[in-house]
Chains A and B, each alone.
Chain A
Amino acid sequence: MSWKLFSLLLEASLMTIFVSTISILIGLVLAILLSAANLSGIRPLQWGGKFFISFFRGTPLLVQLLLLYNLLPVMGIQMPSLATAILGLSLCTAAYQAENLRGGFEGVPRGLVESADMAGFSPAQTFFHIRVPIALRLTLPALINEAILILKASSLVSVVGLVELTRMAQNLVASTFMPLELYASAGLIYLVINLTVAVLGRQLEQRLPGAPAK
């Protein structure tokens, strides 16, 4: 396989990285808000959050993307392919991240929350300054794992019209008839990206305070 083809794959992988990174971050913010809904003690919010998480964890991303792409405009919401792809990935990962965070929030020491309350923190302050940082720290390995899952899942966003690594490989196969070389190369690029994320994640995990003792 020529360098020209491989460089086209590399170029397309930038889109994969871009879409995944943004989606993971938006998904994290949404997941924190979903956790807030769960902790709010307000029934309708809790139900809404549960419904959201159950739906996005209970259906294939491929179907979610197809639905989103065709349903949003009918509802009067116009957005380009890139935005639809990011929205689809973000909503899906938000559901998974919220589920991960749930464990993290349960691990926040009760005494810490109580003493923050007593120190005069408002509920929002306690949530954002005490609960969220601790829950995030506790679930960091899960977050890194989720990042890798989303990098892989981003291979599906071509169904809403975005050309990323997998679709580029598909396109190149159509004109070169070299599926073996092209899909193997695409797989290799995903593998390198994911191993990099895993290694960086492990280093971050060890450097941050609260790392398990060695």
Chain B
Amino acid sequence: MRNRVISALAGAALLLGGTVAAHAQDALERVTAAGVLKVGTETAFAPFDFIDAGTHTGLNMDVFAEIGKELGVEIEWVTLDWAGVLPGLEAGQFDMVAGPATVTAARMERYRFTPPIAEATVALLKSAKDDSITKPEDIAGKAVGAGHATAQLAQLIAYGETLPTAPEAKEYVSFNEAYADLAAGRIAGVANSLPNIAFVAQQRPEVFAVVEPAFGTKTYFAYPGLKDDDHASLMDAIDAAILKMKGDGRLADLQQKWFGTTFDTPDAVTEPNI
């Protein structure tokens, strides 16, 4: 009896109370009702998604601004390290993912992808001063960086196995750290998709150069979401918005703005090359 109040208080401390979200509506209805589409992304993936002098910017911002208009909702961004983004989607921290992610067979088993928004074929970025690398094969035996838990890293490793001596694949929390290490001379190259490294090389031509041609097979970037029934109508609506943007030329304009070129992408990837 004596300690009843104290123990009641202590009991309260040990109970981690939480509110359980109601799941009566489907994802699209919830998003429309809230007026907010929550999108998870990483901000270390220029020119798709990056921080320019403190401001979150990139192709993703522009594309999702248009998607938001089509759906009549605001976009709320949740920014994480890439390795945490897809787990965050599955945990339900956001409605879908920007990124974008390379469409791969393994990912398609798990996620549903929007129509592609750009090409994702992997190529090599090297130091502008490095004359020892003129073609992709020259990275044999050298240290090459890529982002942790990315399709680009997987392609680098797969390509490395075809070379006489495999390059040492170094994993970074994000591609930004890999670029920094390339600039610092710790690694000889960074394997990332062509639109990304073309942008980086164009931003800092005195530091970086792209090694042509791309070594990876042809792949595409798209936005992943969940495959379940709950998210089907939401993903349908987003697919429709992107196809509409493709049809009226808005997507091409944005590609031109961010990549200086446009991509001829299919409306859907059904048989990814990797």
In the complex they form, whether A and B have CB atoms below 8 Å apart is answered with yes
User: Which residues of A line the B interface, CB within 8 A?
Assistant: 4-5, 8, 11, 30, 33-34, 36-37, 39-42, 45, 48-49, 52, 66, 69-79, 81, 122-124, 127, 158-161, 163, 168, 170-175, 177, 179
Interface of B is mostly: mixed
With A161-B79, A174-B176 already in contact, the answer to whether A72 and B18 are too (CB < 8 A) is: yes
- B9-36 with Cβ < 8 A to chain A: 9-14, 18-21
Which 9 residue pairs across A and B have the least CB separation, nearest first?
A: A33-B13, A37-B10, A77-B18, A124-B5, A171-B51, A174-B176, A73-B91, A73-B92, A8-B54
Chain B residues, Cβ within 8 Å of A78:
19, 21, 92-93
Chain A residues, Cβ within 8 Å of B2:
123
- B64-88 with Cβ < 8 A to chain A: 78-81, 84, 87-88
Say yes or no for B204: interface residue by CB 8 A criterion: yes
Q: Mark B88-99, 1 if CB is under 8 A from A, else 0.
A: 100111000000
Number of B interface residues at 8 Å Cβ cutoff, please give it.
Answer: 42
Chain B residues, Cβ within 8 Å of A8:
53-54
Q: Is the CB of B54 within 8 A of A171?
A: yes
Q: How far is the CB of A78 from chain B (nearest CB, A)?
A: 5
Interface of A is mostly: helix
Q: Is the CB of A49 within 8 A of B5?
A: no
Select which of B10, B50, B84 is within 8 A of A66 by beta carbon.
B84
Q: What's the Cα separation between A40 and B5 when bound, in Å?
A: 9
Q: What's the Cα separation between A149 and B239 when bound, in Å?
A: 47
Chain B residues, Cβ within 8 Å of A161:
40, 78-80, 88, 93
Select which of A39, A45, A72, A159 is within 8 A of B14 by beta carbon.
A45
Chain A residues, Cβ within 8 Å of B132:
none
Select which of B5, B14, B19, B78 is within 8 A of A37 by beta carbon.
B14
Q: How far is the CB of B74 from chain A (nearest CB, A)?
A: 14
Chain B residues, Cβ within 8 Å of A177:
180, 183, 204, 207
Chain A residues, Cβ within 8 Å of B11:
37, 45
Q: What's the Cα separation between A103 and B180 when bound, in Å?
A: 47
In the assembled complex, 11 residue pairs joining A and B whose CB atoms fall closer than 8 Å, in A order, are A33-B12, A33-B13, A34-B13, A37-B7, A42-B10, A76-B20, A122-B5, A124-B5, A124-B6, A174-B179, A175-B51
